[in-house]
Structure 1
Amino acid sequence: MITESFSSTAAWMQIQAALTKTSSSTILLGILSVGVLVLAIDYAHMLYLYTRMPPGPLPLPIIGNTHLLPDVKPWIYFEELAKQYKTPVITFWIGRNPTVWICDAWAASELFDKRAGIYASRPRMVVFGELGTGQSNLVTMYYGARWRVHRKLTHLGVGLQQVRNYQGFQNDESKVVAYNLLRTPEKYEVHFERYAASVVSIIGFGRRIASTDNPIISEVLAIMQRAAELNVPGKTFPMLMETFPFLAKFPNEIAPWKHGLKSGRGMAFYYALAEEAANNLEQPQSYSKKLFDEAPKYDLTPDEIGSLAGNLFGAGSDTSSSTLVTFVLACCAFPEVLGRAWEELDRVVGSKRSPNMEDEASLPYIKAFVKEVFRWRSVAIIGGQPHAPIQDDVYKEWHIPKGTWVQGNVWAIHHSEKEFPDPDRFNPERYLKDSPDFRPFPNERGYMTFGWGRRVCSGQGLAEQGTFLTVARLLWGFKIEKARGADGKEIPVDIFDYTNGLNMRPQPFKCRISPRSTEIRDTINREGEEALERLSIYDGETRYTLSKFYKGSVKGK
């Protein structure tokens, strides 16, 4: 009896176990079926867009084309894709999101300039946007009313009318560069960095940076270069979060792939600098003082003030110094272009003074030389941050959906054989209209280094003015040549050896920089000492450095 009962119970338990197993299997099968269906529908949508958008590689489910990204310099890969598909515009999928890359000057002009009102916004950017400065910064801000406020306030600092007012101290800081190069020419790169940082520091905070050892230079440039790295599409972390955005939702404590990414980290530091400058009644008028005057009117938050002040460094320090290093590289690699520059400068300027902005109209070759510096190895090699259309758009027969990541490939645009034959050769005569090397271009400048439309770099006028002053002065004052080894032979330079960030610069190289004549050397010394005397009104110190600020060594911070 007991045996029969036990057998019945065991049988029942087996039946229940079988039913449970079947039920679990059914649930798992159901979940799997739903997952496959969702994946199929999602991939069908991707393929539907693939057939309507500009041509490009066939995307895979979920990962798109991310696996095809090269480890370095993807802009060269996108240039090659455009040639392969014989199209000015390509589509490349970062995960499930299509990105459109414009590799032609005329297409960029049509979309970004002529349709500026449509392509004025930003797409969703996980790494640089949501995990970075978000909607408190003009650079990453979506197009709208708040963006217009920030753009207006930015023009108070670096608008074209303001930039003209900066010629005096910008010219003097350029004279100090030449003065310093006489003493330590081997440190040309840090002299350029000090110059660029000092100009924007005077504008932003009413205080110059006198020493190349000032930590503001190294720390801020490190941040800018790191930020530039976070704008280059990649298949490793942190940029892999653009392919898999859900990874950004994990708490920092359990997400090592988010290490070093902290929303708004730099804005508090720049706010502290701006507040310090605004409250210092002994310092000259500065952009920071203007920001605090305007803050109540526009309800500016501390993060917004910090981002507006900090953007000056982003727009004018790393990019300007990198452009000048590229200029030195070009002089070393292409010495044949220097003779005509020296002839023009000697004829127009002479040796008793250095060139200034008033000479620009009389120096067409030097002006062309500066344009070629901007074109040959543009610093913002993919044109800054991506654009996004605020509505669906059609270019030729191709569909570009609202919110799509649309990027200008400045490398491809400036290396088009059609507009720039033999593009890797540094040739200022491309910009002289009576030269056989001149070719039409869709804008008057002849380059697209600073971006396009309503998202064009705010610091363009400042950078162009400063680059002309400094390039003209250094061409006038110095012989810039390849370094020589112990055997007396010239050491070659590599015109392709550049960093991989969005704001690229040459990898370190040695060169020789020497004054062109004794009289010019004496003029550089005299003008440098006079410039330092005039600039002394901007002398001053700050109690803040980035490293100390975030270590909490500044009381109350």
Structure 2
Amino acid sequence: MLFDQLLAGLREGNGSKVFSQVSAWHLATSILLISFITLVIDYSYMLWRRSKLPPGPFPWPIVGNTFMLPENKPWIWFEELSKEYDAPLVTVWIGRNPTIWINDAWTASELFEKRAGIYSSRPRMLVFAELGAGQDNLVNMYTTSPEQRERWRAHRKLIHHGVGVQSVRRYREFQNNESRVVAYDLLKAPEHYVKSFERYATSVVSIIAFGRRVESWDDPIITEVIAVMHLAADLNVPGKTFPMLMETFPFLAKFPNEIAPWKYGLGKKRSAHFFYALADEAAKKEGHEDSFVKYLFGESPKYNLNEADISSLAGNLFGAGSDTSSSTLITFILACCAFPEVLIPAWEELDRVVGPHRSPSWEDEENLPYVKAFVKEVLRWRSVAIIGGQPHAPTQDDYYKGWLIPKGTWIQGNVWAIHHNEREFPDPDRFNPNRFLAGHPDSRPFPGERGYMTFGWGRRVCSGQALAEQGTWITVARVLWGFNIQKKKRADGSTVEVDIFNYTNGLNMRPQPFECSITPRSEEIRQTIEHEGKQALEDLEQYRGETKYRMSTFYSRNDLAMNRYGDDTKGS
């Protein structure tokens, strides 16, 4: 037929036009044929790889399982898949790339702890790392080459100086005083418990980082940093909407921001760094020579730190510490409201060991086993970093139970599934501190002495774990000692119920707002809280200070307008 059309065209003198039409048709069909063959080869390769990986839902060509992801809380779906395939690991394809999810505590311990030497790197994270916080940020650094490992160790050493296990004991005095102020604030304005916890957590890390406390819960630096941290956390959760959809279609990230609204401003290069400005301002002020930022500037020549390095190290400490710690304390209040029976043993123990004329101290910890178990259950019951922080990636091909885990693969621990496994935690949604009492019938074997995996694993465990555990213990113990926490009663006598499943959707999850009642347990305790709170404020006067910088105006002054995601959340 094509030959007949060509002859007819030549007879009519339209040969060039026919040749043009034939060439265009031939080109189009060739492109389609080549594309189809390429697609078949690529999909065949995906299926061949799938046969070697842990089980999971069948992926579609190009898009994988992306559009099977639920709208909210995908970690629950990963848990369900693990049960469906009866496997501790499941594979979910994000586009053409497999992601492996660990839903079992013993498997997480085996891979991330016992094989930490090969699971300490990061995979390629297009949205959160390359377009967001930066691949050079400590939390995102690769460790696949000797140079990368050396740089990672240097940054890790620096952050450990600020919040490592040995360092955090130096902070107990002001952390204790800030905790006393929390109790004092709850006495005066219990309805603002969320703001009290956010001010407390932000103030502690601000003193560590900058030598300056945060006095008021209305300080913009609290709301701005925590809001930005919530947005940044969303960039760690796989999704089927933008901007996370760029992980499935990475070519979309190459478009300029001006014509790519789906990027939400991610990938803009900043000429100035918000947390560097805060650090530089604090470092130039007299006093508090032991602040983290003064240490960073002092070590800068030794470690060849640039402005972005200092910004990211200070920003990671400040941003992450404020959000996660406050979210944990809000979960604590929710648990008290939903399970009032667990308060009675705590009160009995605190009354016996501490009494009403002083609040608990760290010296009481070993004499308060139930309260200690209570804090552990807070960290287990609704862990903040619900998918264990950023993903890991093996630096070489590895095998587990016959399944291949390829080099560089995105592999992540599903803390939700790990902490809700009936084998280790029967009736897992019930808040039950007895799980962490040695010898109690509710206690079950669990890898690791802590009994939970809230802070991640191995060499990528959360740097601020010791600080968070220390602060959570003293604050939970003090609030338990001081207050009766219960569901709120309406004027007509009815009860305002709470929902233990109503949590935010980001990596660092926290309860959605809820009402409750927080009242002092006795008049003697109320007087003690008031006395200790006033004394704490006097002791904290040495950390009084103010910054001229606000995140909401900083970038506009530098002609770098902030947008929803294109910010400096991690000091990038």
Give the TM-score band, short-chain normalised. over 0.9
Residue in structure 2 matching 1:185, options 165, 185, 190: 190
1:128 to 2:123 alignment: no
Deviation at 1:92, TM superposition (A): 0.4
Aligned counterpart, 1:251: 256
Aligned CA distance change for structure 1 residues 260 and 16 (closer, same or farther; 3 Å): closer
Deviation at 1:549, TM superposition (A): 0.8
Name the SS of the counterpart of 2:393 in structure 1.
coil
* Contact 2:9–2:18 (8 Å) recurs in 1: no
Aligned counterpart, 1:316: 321
Counterpart residue type for residue 134 of structure 1 = G
1:160 to 2:170 alignment: no
Aligned CA distance change for structure 1 residues 298 and 518 (closer, same or farther; 3 Å): same
Moved over 3 A (4+): 8-13, 262-267
Aligned counterpart, 1:20: 20
Residue in structure 2 matching 1:271, options 273, 276, 285: 276
Aligned counterpart, 1:461: 466
* Alignment map for 1:536-551 (pairs within 5 Å): 536-551=541-556
Note the alpha carbon deviations across 1:411-458, whole angstroms, 9 max, x for none. 000000000000000000000112100000011101000000111000
* Contact 1:136–1:303 (8 Å) recurs in 2: no
CA–CA distance in structure 1, aligned partners of residues 199 and 130 of structure 2: 31
Aligned counterpart, 2:29: 29
Aligned CA distance change for structure 1 residues 80 and 266 (closer, same or farther; 3 Å): farther
Report the more deviating stretch, 189-198 or 131-140: 131-140
Name the SS of the counterpart of 1:93 in structure 2.
strand
Deviation at 1:126, TM superposition (A): 0.8
Deviation at 1:9, TM superposition (A): 10
CA–CA distance in structure 2, aligned partners of residues 368 and 321 of structure 1: 19
* Contact 2:202–2:322 (8 Å) recurs in 1: yes
Report the more deviating stretch, 313-322 or 432-441: 313-322
Aligned CA distance change for structure 1 residues 265 and 225 (closer, same or farther; 3 Å): farther
Aligned counterpart, 1:73: 73
Deviation at 1:263, TM superposition (A): 4.8
* Contact 2:482–2:521 (8 Å) recurs in 1: yes
Aligned counterpart, 1:413: 418
Note the alpha carbon deviations across 1:522-556, whole angstroms, 9 max, x for none. 111111111111111000111111112112089xx
* Contact 2:243–2:263 (8 Å) recurs in 1: yes
Name the SS of the counterpart of 1:383 in structure 2.
coil
Counterpart residue type for residue 233 of structure 1 = P
1:422 to 2:427 alignment: yes
Aligned counterpart, 1:389: 394
Counterpart residue type for residue 159 of structure 1 = G
Counterpart residue type for residue 37 of structure 1 = I
Residue in structure 1 matching 2:153, options 148, 164, 171: 148
* Alignment map for 1:143-542 (pairs within 5 Å): 143=143, 144-263=149-268, 268-542=273-547
Counterpart residue type for residue 378 of structure 1 = S
Aligned CA distance change for structure 1 residues 284 and 264 (closer, same or farther; 3 Å): farther
Note the alpha carbon deviations across 1:117-137, whole angstroms, 9 max, x for none. 111111111110110122331
Name the SS of the counterpart of 2:466 in structure 1.
helix
Aligned counterpart, 1:5: none
CA–CA distance in structure 2, aligned partners of residues 157 and 478 of structure 1: 32
CA–CA distance in structure 1, aligned partners of residues 12 and 361 of structure 2: 99
* Contact 1:133–1:264 (8 Å) recurs in 2: no
* Contact 1:205–1:288 (8 Å) recurs in 2: yes
Aligned CA distance change for structure 1 residues 114 and 265 (closer, same or farther; 3 Å): farther
* Contact 2:63–2:248 (8 Å) recurs in 1: yes
Note the alpha carbon deviations across 1:44-66, whole angstroms, 9 max, x for none. 11001110000001111000011
CA–CA distance in structure 1, aligned partners of residues 95 and 213 of structure 2: 45
Aligned counterpart, 1:63: 63
Name the SS of the counterpart of 1:178 in structure 2.
helix
Deviation at 1:317, TM superposition (A): 0.6
Where structure 1 has 5 or more consecutive residues not aligned to the other structure, the ranges are 1-7
* Contact 1:316–1:459 (8 Å) recurs in 2: yes
Aligned CA distance change for structure 1 residues 367 and 433 (closer, same or farther; 3 Å): same
Counterpart residue type for residue 70 of structure 2 = P
Counterpart residue type for residue 63 of structure 1 = V
Aligned CA distance change for structure 1 residues 202 and 9 (closer, same or farther; 3 Å): closer
Deviation at 1:30, TM superposition (A): 2.0
Counterpart residue type for residue 450 of structure 2 = R
Aligned counterpart, 1:4: none
* Contact 1:132–1:264 (8 Å) recurs in 2: no
CA–CA distance in structure 2, aligned partners of residues 296 and 551 of structure 1: 31
CA–CA distance in structure 1, aligned partners of residues 12 and 107 of structure 2: 74
Name the SS of the counterpart of 1:446 in structure 2.
coil
Aligned CA distance change for structure 1 residues 15 and 266 (closer, same or farther; 3 Å): closer
Note the alpha carbon deviations across 1:207-230, whole angstroms, 9 max, x for none. 000011110000000110000111
Where structure 2 has 5 or more consecutive residues not aligned to the other structure, the ranges are 1-7, 144-148, 560-572
Deviation at 1:487, TM superposition (A): 1.1
Deviation at 1:185, TM superposition (A): 0.4
Deviation at 1:465, TM superposition (A): 0.1
Deviation at 1:260, TM superposition (A): 3.6
CA–CA distance in structure 2, aligned partners of residues 236 and 495 of structure 1: 27
Normalising by the residue count of structure 1, what TM-score does the alignment of the two structures yield? 0.96
Normalising by the residue count of structure 2, what TM-score does the alignment of the two structures yield? 0.94
CA–CA distance in structure 2, aligned partners of residues 266 and 524 of structure 1: 47
Deviation at 1:245, TM superposition (A): 0.6
